[in-house]
Amino acid sequence: MPFVSVRDLQMYYEIRGKGQRLLSISGTGSDLRRLPTIFESPLGQHFEILAYDQRGLGQTSKPDIPYTVADYAADAESLLNAVGWENCHVIGISFGGMVAQELALRYPHRVERLVLACSSSGGAAGSSYPLHELMNLPIEEVAYRQVTIADTRWQDQAWLFSRTRQFQELLKQTLAASKEGAEEPSCQVGRLRQLEARAGHDTYDRLSDLHVPVYICGGRYDGISPPGNLRAKHKQIPGAYLEFFEGGHRFLYQDPQAFERVIAFLQNKFD
């Protein structure tokens, strides 16, 4: 299992696949031990993917100090140095999209094409849902909130009634993920520090400085990174593409066309 020294961390990473190089930056609470990963997505058939556990998460170090999104971006840039990648495409999903924004703004020479999936900029464009405010709620309540915020269709009683079994399975999966590492103080610290960094994210006033090809995509029913946030971000980025899909915060796995469009953008085959 590959680990590398990155800044103040021992970072866990994996590289798989063939094709153009793609750095994948994952979302809140992500852990490469939890399947499916980005490698099992359709992207794995088209790109050489570099994915990693971010600071505070998974098998990477979890220092109990304040984190910033700028720290996460510096971690990603240092990882590229460590594996010998001078530049690459970048996809940032959810919190990973926040990190990807900072990476592209601070180290523009590293990024060839940029995908920002279900991610907010903060500032005048609006912030993603304040997940840090859920930290002190009972774990069952947190799971319920996460499911119903991630896809606002679950807030419609008729939609919920017609899909009760599916809803219960989502709750079960979300609750299980929330319990992972609950007894390990370092895991709790890492999650909290990531949420604190997430709450302070704001790139809005700098987005006009992005001069790489950018594709902004999201779900029509996302309550974590609402469509309005993506539209406002789109207006700030010169020449950016914007597209919505049938789904919520997990739209990439809900709408089969979503990954197809991401692949087309990264391969510069947009129609």
The whole-number pLDDT of residue 185 equals 66
CA 48/CA 23 separation, integer angstroms: 9
Cis peptide before 36 (omega within 30 of 0): yes
Topology annotation, domain 3-266: Rossmann fold (3.40.50)
pLDDT tens sequence across 77-110: 999 999 999 999 999 999 999 999 999 999 999 9
* Six token digits for residue 267: 């391969």
Q: State the burial class of residue 73 (Cβ atoms within 10 Å of its Cβ: 0-12, 13-18, 19+).
A: buried
CA 150/CA 167 separation, integer angstroms: 12
* Six token digits for residue 245: 């899909």
Beta-strand relationship, 214-219 and 111-117:
parallel
- What letter does residue 54 receive in the DSSP assignment? P
CA 20/CA 45 separation, integer angstroms: 11
* Confidence (pTM): 0.95
Q: Where are the domains of the chain?
A: 3-266
pLDDT tens sequence across 115-133: 999 999 999 999 999 998 8
Beta-bridge mates of residue 13: 52
